[in-house]
C-alpha cells in the first residue's frame, strides 16, 4: 500500500488502495483511500466505480465532499460524526465520451470552508488496445548510477500508431516521445536513460505509453533499480515506518546508526541505541529526543506501558533537532556526509528536543549524542492518529 503526498493545485492519477494526502497551505489535510481501484483507461462499455473513504489528516473538521465532472456535481456527502466520509458513485461511460479524458474532481471542504481538490483523470478509448510491447531479452533490471541504460522495444499495433511516450514517476520524458513512424503499425522504439546522483539507491518506475490513431492506449511498466557506483560516506534508509505510541504496525523508537525501529516492549534494553522517538498528539506526529520530558511524563508512562515506560530506561540519549524547509529534490541530491553536516551547521534554526508537529514533506536535521548528523524527510502517514505511523527517508553519517 503506497501513500503519495501532494499539495493543493497538484493533481495526479493514482491506482493504489490508500493513495493520497490532500493538503492546503493552511494545513487542512485529509487522506483519500480508494476502496475500489480507479482505472486510468476505460471503454464506452464500462462503468467507473468510485468507492472512496476520506479521513482527517489534520485538526480540521471535515464538512462535506463533492465529486464532480466538468463542473457538474455528481455526488455530495456530508461527514459522519467520526469526522470521515465514504463516497460511493458509479459513472456509466457514454459513446460520446470516446477519445476524451474525463477529469473527475473530488473537492473536500472543512467547517471553516477551506477547500482541497483532487482530480482523477480517466481516458475513454473505443476498444481495448490491440498493441504488443516486446522488451528484448536481457533488459536490465538494475544499473549503476554512472551507467547508461539503452535498448530497443518492439511495438506492434493492429491500428496505425499515433505516439509512443515514456513517463518517469508520472512525468513525461519528452526527449523519448515519438510520433513519426516509418511503418505506421510497427516500430522499434529506442529507450535510453542516464541516471543522476539523485537516482542512486532507488527503484525508478517508468511507464511506456502507446496510443493508436483510434485513441486506444496500452501502457507497459518498467522498473529499474539504480545502484550507487561509489560507496557513500553516509547511510541511507528509505521507506522506514515509525509508529505513534499505539501503532500496531511499527515501533516508535529509531536507531539512526542502523536504521532499526524498536517497539515499546523491551525498549529499556534498547535505550542506549535509541536516537529519535515518535508520538502523536495535538493532531500531529512529533519526532523528539529521548530526553524530551513530555514523552516520558505523558506518553510512554509507567501507567500505560509498565516496565517498558521511559522512566525505566537506563539511558536516555540526547539528540538535537532542527526543523527546516527542504524540497524533495534537494533531499535527493544530498550525496555526502559533509553536505549533511553543513546543512546542520549553516542552519540558523535553534536546536531543540522536538520537531513539533511534522506535516508530510516535513524535514528535520538532527545531531545524535554520538555527534552523527542526519536529515530525515517525512514522505507520508498511514493515518493521523496515535495508532498510525509515518513513512520517512533518512540520510545519516556513518
Q: Whole-number mean pLDDT of the chain?
A: 90
Against a cut of 0.85, is the pTM above it? no
Domain final residue, candidates 227, 242, 263? 227
Percent helix, percent strand, percent coil in the chain, to nearest 5: 10, 45, 40
Q: How far apart (Å, rounded) are the C-alpha atoms in residues 132 and 182?
A: 18
Q: Write the CB contacts of 82 (distance below 8 Å, at least 6 apart in sequence).
A: none
* Residue 70, SS3 per DSSP: coil
- Domain C-terminal end among 90, 125, 160: 125
Residue 279 CA to its chain's centroid (Å): 21
Give yes or no: residues 24 and 108 share one domain. yes
Min mean pLDDT across 10-24, 119-133, 252-266, 297-311 is at: 10-24
pLDDT tens digits for range 57-86: 766 789 999 999 999 999 999 998 888 899
Percent of the chain with pLDDT over 90: 77
Q: What's the confidence (pLDDT) of residue 20?
A: 53
Same domain? For 308 and 189 the reply is no
pLDDT at 17: 44
Residues 249 and 384 in one domain: yes
Return phi, psi of residue 236, to 5°.
-125, 130
Confidence band (pLDDT; 50, 70, 90) for 384?
A: confident
Cβ neighbours for 335, distance < 8 A, ≥ 6 positions apart: 197, 200, 232
- 108 lies in which domain range? 4-125
Work out the number of other CB atoms within 10 angstroms of the CB of residue 17.
13
Residues 147 and 252 in one domain: no
Q: Are 240 and 370 within one domain?
A: yes
Mean pLDDT of 174-178: 98
- Mean pLDDT of the 283-306 span: 95
Do residue 203 and residue 118 come from a single domain?
no
Sign of CA dihedral 127, 128, 134, 135: positive
Tell me: pLDDT of 11 over 60.
no
Higher-confidence position of 20 and 189: 189
**pLDDT > 60? residue 357:** yes
Confidence at residue 180, expressed as pLDDT on a 0 to 100 scale? 97
Residue-level pLDDT at 75: 95
pLDDT value of position 58: 65
Query: How far, in Å, CA of 114 to CA of 267, rounded?
Result: 42
**Pair 360, 327 in one domain:** yes
Regarding whether 279 and 359 lie in a shared domain, the answer is yes
Q: Do 115 and 50 fall within a single domain?
A: yes
- pLDDT for residue 283: 84
Q: Which residues contact 127 (CB under 8 A, 6 or more apart)?
A: 43, 214, 216
**Do residue 280 and residue 174 come from a single domain?**
no
Q: Percent of the chain at pLDDT above 70?
A: 92
Which residue has 536529515 as its cell numbers?
375
Structural contact between residues 394 and 375, judged by C-beta atoms closer than 8 angstroms? yes
Per-residue pLDDT reduced to its tens digit, 163-173: 999 999 889 99
Query: What is the C-alpha separation between 289 and 330, in angstroms, rounded?
Result: 25
Q: Establish how many alpha carbons lie within 13 A of residue 177's alpha carbon, considering only the half-sphere containing its beta carbon.
A: 10
Q: Are residues 180 and 135 in the same domain?
A: yes
Strands 18-23 and 4-7: parallel
The C-alpha cell at 184 is 505506421
Mean pLDDT for 17-23 is 50
Number of domains the chain is built from: 3
Final residue in a domain of this structure, among 161, 192, 227: 227
User: Using CA atoms, how far apart are residues 41 and 122, in angstroms rounded to an integer?
Assistant: 5
pLDDT at 217 over 70: yes
CATH (domain of 52): 2.60.40.10
Write down the pLDDT at residue 6.
Answer: 32
Q: Which residue has the higher pLDDT, 47 or 385?
A: 47
Q: Assign 345 to helix, strand or coil.
A: helix
Q: DSSP letter string over 140-170?
A: -SEEETTS-EEEEEEEEESSPEEEEEEEETT
**pLDDT for residue 358 is more than 80:** yes
Beta-carbon contacts of 33 under 8 Å, excluding residues fewer than 6 positions away, are 17, 18, 19, 52, 53, 54, 55
Q: What is the mean pLDDT of residues 288-306?
A: 96
pLDDT level of residue 22 (50, 70, 90 thresholds): low
Q: Is 48 found in the same domain as 151?
A: no
The SS3 call for residue 55 is strand
Amino acid at each position: 500500500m503506497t501513500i503519495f503526498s501532494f499539495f493543493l493545485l497538484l493533481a495526479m492519477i493514482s491506482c493504489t488502495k490508500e493513495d493520497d494526502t490532500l493538503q492546503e497551505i493552511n494545513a487542512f489535510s485529509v487522506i483519500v483511500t480508494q476502496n475500489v481501484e480507479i482505472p486510468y483507461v476505460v471503454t464506452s462499455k464500462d462503468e467507473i466505480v468510485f468507492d472512496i473513504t476520506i479521513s482527517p489528516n489534520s485538526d480540521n473538521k471535515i464538512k462535506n465532499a463533492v465529486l464532480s465532472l466538468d463542473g457538474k456535481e455528481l455526488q455530495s456527502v456530508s461527514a459522519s460524526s467520526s469526522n470521515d466520509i465514504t463516497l460511493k458513485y458509479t459513472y456509466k461511460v457514454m459513446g460520446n465520451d470516446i477519445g476524451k479524458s474525463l477529469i473527475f474532481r473530488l473537492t473536500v471542504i472543512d467547517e471553516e470552508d477551506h477547500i482541497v481538490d483532487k482530480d482523477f483523470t480517466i481516458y475513454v478509448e473505443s476498444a481495448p488496445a490491440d498493441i504488443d510491447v516486446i522488451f528484448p531479452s536481457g533488459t536490465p533490471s538494475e544499473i549503476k548510477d554512472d551507467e547508461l541504460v539503452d535498448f530497443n522495444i518492439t511495438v506492434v499495433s493492429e491500428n496505425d500508431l499515433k505516439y509512443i511516450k515514456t513517463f518517469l514517476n508520472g512525468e513525461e520524458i519528452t526527449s523519448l516521445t515519438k510520433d513519426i513512424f516509418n511503418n505506421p503499425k510497427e516500430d522499434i522504439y529506442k529507450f535510453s536513460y542516464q541516471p543522476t546522483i539523485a537516482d542512486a539507491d532507488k527503484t525508478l518506475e517508468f511507464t511506456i505509453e502507446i496510443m493508436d490513431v483510434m485513441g486506444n492506449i496500452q501502457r507497459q511498466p518498467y522498473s529499474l533499480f539504480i545502484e550507487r557506483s561509489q560507496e557513500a560516506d553516509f547511510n541511507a534508509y528509505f521507506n522506514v515506518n515509525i509508529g505513534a505510541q499505539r501503532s500496531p504496525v511499527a515501533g516508535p523508537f529509531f536507531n539512526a546508526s542502523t536504521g532499526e525501529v524498536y517497539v515499546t516492549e523491551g525498549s529499556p534494553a534498547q535505550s542506549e541505541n535509541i536516537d529519535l522517538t515518535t508520538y502523536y498528539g495535538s493532531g500531529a506526529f512529533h519526532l523528539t529526543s529521548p530526553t524530551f520530558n513530555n514523552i516520558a511524563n505523558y506518553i510512554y508512562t509507567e501507567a500505560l506501558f509498565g516496565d517498558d515506560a521511559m522512566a525505566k530506561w537506563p539511558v536516555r540519549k540526547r539528540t538535537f533537532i532542527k526543523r527546516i524547509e527542504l524540497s524533495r529534490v534537494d533531499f535527493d541530491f544530498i550525496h555526502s556526509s559533509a553536505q549533511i553536516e553543513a546543512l546542520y551547521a549553516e542552519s540558523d534554526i535553534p536546536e531543540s528536543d522536538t520537531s513539533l508537529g511534522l506535516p508530510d514533506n516535513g524535514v528535520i536535521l538532527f545531531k545524535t549524542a554520538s555527534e552523527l548528523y542526519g536529515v530525515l524527510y517525512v514522505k507520508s502517514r498511514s493515518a493521523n492518529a496515535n495508532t498510525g505511523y509515518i513513512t520517512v527517508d533518512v540520510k545519516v553519517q556513518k
